[in-house]
Amino acid sequence: MSQSRKQLQAKRLAAFEEVVKHYEAALLRYVARLVNNSDITQDIVQNTFIRLFRKWQDEMAVSANISSWLYRVAHNCAIDYIRKETRRRELHEKHAKERPTFAPPDRGKGFRITEAAAQASEALQMLSEREQQLVVLKVYEEKSYKEISEITDLSVSNVGYILHHAMKKMATHLKSAKTI
């Protein structure tokens, strides 16, 4: 292998490592909120980066294009996993219609989830799968409507419509929880 080819590979690998370093934590958070399984989350994010390394032909650098692409691939992989698990669960456990509850990771002795955060999480679980995905992207991942549109393959106006109604549902649920 020629010296210049080795240098190009080393440069590409360094750029790839920088992209992984920049986006890994955010993708892990996003996928974890979708699939509620830390092992599967890590697999999905790892596969997302493997696909990036194999597919990306342009110069690899932290950018909006790579961000949208990574979120879209991670989103699609997570949705594929969710669909596969749903079908499997329906076949093997017809009587169990509820999704398993998500146990957040242990963050140490001093970490406490506030009552408001617990109520917001409960309200989020009341939404449909699509609504949950959009709320997570908007609220937790702080994505714009345009970015959410690119990730989910919905129109920007559809994203806004779904988010508006999802937030209204959550607000109604939170208000009813306070009156009880």
Stretch 95-110: mean pLDDT, rounded? Answer: 54
Which of 79, 104, 129 terminates a domain? The answer is: 104
Residues 88 and 18 in one domain: yes
Q: Is the torsion defined by CA of 89, 93, 97, 101 positive or negative?
A: negative
Residues 67 and 132 in one domain: no
Displacement of CA 168 from its chain's centroid (Å)? 22
Which of 78, 104, 130 terminates a domain? The answer is: 104
Q: Given a cut of 80, is residue 92 above it in pLDDT?
A: no
Q: Given pLDDT bands bounded at 50, 70 and 90, which one contains residue 31?
A: very high
pLDDT at position 105 is: 57
d(CA 164, CA 127): 12
pLDDT at position 173 is: 86
Q: Given pLDDT bands bounded at 50, 70 and 90, which one contains residue 97?
A: very low
d(CA 61, CA 45): 18
Residues 98 and 20 in one domain: yes
Residues 129 and 84 in one domain: no
Cβ partners under 8 Å of residue 123, min gap 6: 169, 170, 173, 174, 177
Task: Supply the pTM of this predicted model.
Answer: 0.59
Q: Given pLDDT bands bounded at 50, 70 and 90, which one contains residue 64?
A: confident
Q: Check which CATH number belongs to the domain holding 27 and give it.
A: 1.10.1740.10
d(CA 99, CA 8): 47
Q: Given a cut of 70, is residue 98 above it in pLDDT?
A: no
pLDDT at position 161 is: 92
Whole-number average pLDDT of the chain: 83
Question: Nearest to residue 31, comparing CAs of 69, 67, 81, 65?
Answer: 81
Percent of the chain with pLDDT over 90: 33
Domain hosting 141: range is: 106-180
Residues 142 and 62 in one domain: no
pLDDT at position 108 is: 61
d(CA 82, CA 79): 5
Number of domains into which the chain is organized: 2
Residues 90 and 125 in one domain: no
Residues 74 and 144 in one domain: no
Ranking 16-25, 46-55, 80-89 by mean pLDDT, the lowest is 80-89
- CB-based burial of residue 28 (10 Å sphere; 0-12 exposed, 13-18 middle, 19+ buried)? middle
d(CA 117, CA 105): 15
Q: Given pLDDT bands bounded at 50, 70 and 90, which one contains residue 125?
A: confident
Encoding tokens for residue 70?
């990574």
Residues 99 and 113 in one domain: no
pLDDT at position 94 is: 63
pLDDT at position 103 is: 57
Residues 60 and 7 in one domain: yes
Stretch 81-93: mean pLDDT, rounded? Answer: 79
